[in-house]
Homo-oligomer: A and B are copies of this chain.
Amino acid sequence: MQSAVSVKDLKIAYGDHTVIDKMSIDIAPREFLVLLGPSGCGKSTLLNAIAGLQDITSGEVWISGKNVSWEEPKDRGIGMVFQSYALYPRMSVRKNLSFGLRVARLPKAEIEARVARTAALLQLDKLLDRRPAELSGGQRQRVAIGRALVREVDVFLFDEPLSNLDAKLRNELRVEIKKLHQRLGNTMIYVTHDQVEALTLADRIAIMRDGVIQQLASPAEIYRRPINLFVAGFIGAPAMNFIEGRIERGDGAAPVFLGNGLTIDLSRYSFRAVAAEGPATLGFRPEHLVLDGATSGLPTIPGRVAVVEPMGSDAVVWFDWADQSLSLRLMGDVTLEPGDALAPGLDIAKASLFGADGSRL
């Protein structure tokens, strides 16, 4: 099948500082791709290059089967939503939505129909005559989305559209965007550095670091089987716990992980290749620890509670073990207090192991 968007051998450099190097991705029609990565890793740069807002150093950008590397942004069949909304401040919502169409000299009736449709879809009907300054953050963001939608194109680009909103609004709009995608079925490329957004929205997530894609896979895959230490640490809140140690195997016996006095049998861990001896990092998520480790028959990590963070439906317990602070997620009510001893058990089948070079074993 033809890709909706594809980037071939893309390289972008400012002077001799290469921001994106030899990148190639294919994005399928109707796919929701999230670009996730730390600040400065080149997410916006990539998105801008796709939109035609950024000069590329070499490589090609294809949209809907057409090489658009040299096209003007308006001719690429894309709509874009920006982090700062970038609404035209002195125009009413209606004008914001219709400005591009009026400049393109669409028939009046067509413009009105499109604006009405978009406004209805995004529940902006009642706001059409307000100015951006008279809108709340969430409303502004909806208008920004509307301005992209009204163009009725196949590909939408979102550059951290929610990061200026407060937590509550962010959660609400996230769901709305997801519904929108299900309804419209357009291709969407969505940049964020918020991993909750990435996990909840994406069909596939591309995790970037320094202009290079680390892992491109489904959210579940990325969460469960991170390809390397960077991805593992980047995804998950609270972050994955890491313990440094070594993998050793007796003669022919199952490999074990030794770290800081801890010995963990790795026979239930599914290695990607045959496990070699050597330094390794064991990573496991807070929910992979079971509070009553003793009864579970799992290897235990004894420690002392440092901080308890109740979050309503669940709670995160931070405990100290061997100079490290590890986290453990509990459902429901927690009776632990700072200072209490605990020895949670670790489910090694769900954990991840990384070799000396940081990649998954």
Contacts and interface: CB of A to CB of B under 8 A. Distances in A.
A285 B313 contact: yes
Contacts of A179: 306-307
Given A168-B195, A193-B166, A329 B313 contact: yes
Interface string A192-203: 011110011000
Assign chain A's interface to a size class: 35 or more
Interface in A271-289: 285-287
A310 B200 contact: yes
Contacts of A123: none
B312 A285 contact: yes
A309 interface: yes
Contacts of A39: 166
Contacts of A237: 167-168, 171, 312
A163 B166 contact: yes
B171 A311 contact: no
Contacts of A220: 310, 333
Given A179-B307, A309-B178, A310-B219, A238 B166 contact: no
Most buried by B among A175, A287, A338: A175
A339 to B, nearest CB: 10
A123 B185 CA distance: 48
B166 A194 contact: yes
Q: Considering residues A179, A194, A310, A333, which has the most beta carbons from chain B within 10 angstroms of its beta carbon?
A: A310
Number of copies: 2
Contacts of A223: 310, 312
A235 interface: yes
A236 interface: yes
A220 B39 CA distance: 35
B175 A309 contact: yes
Interface string A61-79: 0000000000000000000
A30 interface: no
A225 interface: no
A331 interface: yes
Given A235-B312, A236-B312, A307 B178 contact: yes
A40 to B, nearest CB: 11
A168 B200 CA distance: 16
23 contacts: A166-B193, A167-B196, A167-B237, A168-B193, A168-B195, A171-B237, A175-B307, A178-B307, A182-B306, A182-B307, A182-B338, A196-B311, A199-B310, A199-B312, A219-B310, A219-B312, A220-B333, A223-B312, A236-B312, A285-B312, A286-B313, A287-B332, A331-B331
Given A167-B196, A182-B338, 18 more contacts: A39-B166, A167-B237, A168-B237, A175-B238, A175-B307, A175-B309, A175-B318, A178-B307, A178-B309, A179-B307, A199-B309, A200-B310, A200-B311, A200-B316, A219-B310, A220-B333, A313-B329, A314-B314
By Cβ-Cβ distance, the 8 closest A-B pairs, closest first, are: A200-B309, A287-B313, A223-B312, A167-B194, A178-B307, A171-B237, A199-B311, A199-B312
